[in-house]
Amino acid sequence: MRIFFACSTRRNIASLLFMAGLLHWQQAQADLTIFSREVEIRLDAGYMVDDNVTRTKESVDKLGDRSYSANLSGVMFLPLTTHTRGLLTLSAGGEKFSDYSGLNRFAGSAQGELQYRSSAAFSTPTFAVFIRTFAEQYESLLRSGSRYSVGMSVRQPVTDRINLFAALAHNQRYAKSAVFNIRENSARINLDYGLSARGTLYLGAEYRSGDTVSTAQPALENIDIADVFAQDDAYPGGALYGYRFKGNTLISTLGYNHGLNSRNSLDFSWRMIETKAEERPSYATSPSSYIVNQYSMVYLRSF
């Protein structure tokens, strides 16, 4: 009886340990569904109208244009632990303007992101840190160069229809001309609201503080506040100069995304950009800030 009891006890303990291990494995597998492994290819093609590509205050210097863009990107999702995963995104694309070819550009980028989510519960936020690098080639030689962005973000489901996203970042750009060497810090927030199974309305706000560039005819006010300036080769005639100065920018976005099916959608948006210089000469009579309106339509497809 002692032997039987001992053997039975050992078998029971072994069974309990096995069941506990099985339950732990099943829970781990369930948690891993938070961050599933996959690779996704994304394509977007768009059309945009910009009413102030020179980013200037004076109406005489404001130039509008239309542009066409296309981008291809690949996103790889890499589970690391039960609650963390890495994202690697590689993309390449270009933008072509109708009137001012100097603004045409080709760009390639790579982004790495580390995400953390503590559980699969619906209301659990996803925290992330990221770094993104770009290489850009413009027809305007002064603008060609590279840039990078580093920061942190959080995604928070509020209801089954409402999602919030917020991010803080430091952005830096290196170009062949010091005018386009830019450093800035940014904070942004986005709200997505699901109107229907296929339609999503979104609102966004972003605040940037740091360097900014405006292109205009030579003027004493611009020279006084500029850290550096140079003739802008993106516009014909050689009459316009690019001025880099310290400023604060607010970007507001209103958009609507309509899903055509599970892999295709159309996106319509209006973006308003307002930039104000930190310094302003006492004699200045021009507007205190410049405003840009951008209207875009984009077709998106995932594979």
Of 80, 153, 164, 142, give the one whose Cα is nearest residue 111: 153
pLDDT of 37 reads 55
What b/e readout covers 73-89, taking b as 16+ CB neighbours within 10 angstroms? bebebebeebbbbebeb
pLDDT by 10-residue block (mean), the chain, 303 residues: 32 40 43 60 98 96 98 96 96 98 98 96 96 97 97 96 98 97 98 96 98 96 96 94 97 98 97 96 92 98 94
Torsion of CA 244, 245, 248, 252, to 10 degrees: -20
What's phi and psi for 87, nearest 5 deg?
-125, 130
- In sequence order, the β-bridge partners of residue 256 are 201, 268
Of 132, 204, 201, 205, give the one whose Cα is nearest residue 173: 132
List, for residues 234-249, the tens digit of each pLDDT value.
999 889 999 999 999 9
Dump strand ranges (E) for 98-161: 105-116, 126-138, 145-157
List, for residues 1-19, the tens digit of each pLDDT value.
333 223 333 334 344 333 4
- Sign of the C-alpha dihedral, residues 207, 210, 215, 216? positive
Element (DSSP H or E) covering residue 4: helix 2-32
**Cα→Cα distances 74→39, 77, 137, 155, 246, Å:** 7, 10, 21, 21, 35
Distance CA 228, CA 245 (A): 8
How far, rounded to the nearest angstrom, does the alpha carbon of residue 280 sit from its chain's CA centroid?
A: 31
pLDDT of 38 reads 82
pLDDT of 47 reads 98
Using a 10 angstrom Cβ sphere, with 0-12 exposed, 13-18 middle and 19 or more buried, the burial of residue 208 is buried
In the numeric block, the tokens 């210097």 are attached to 61
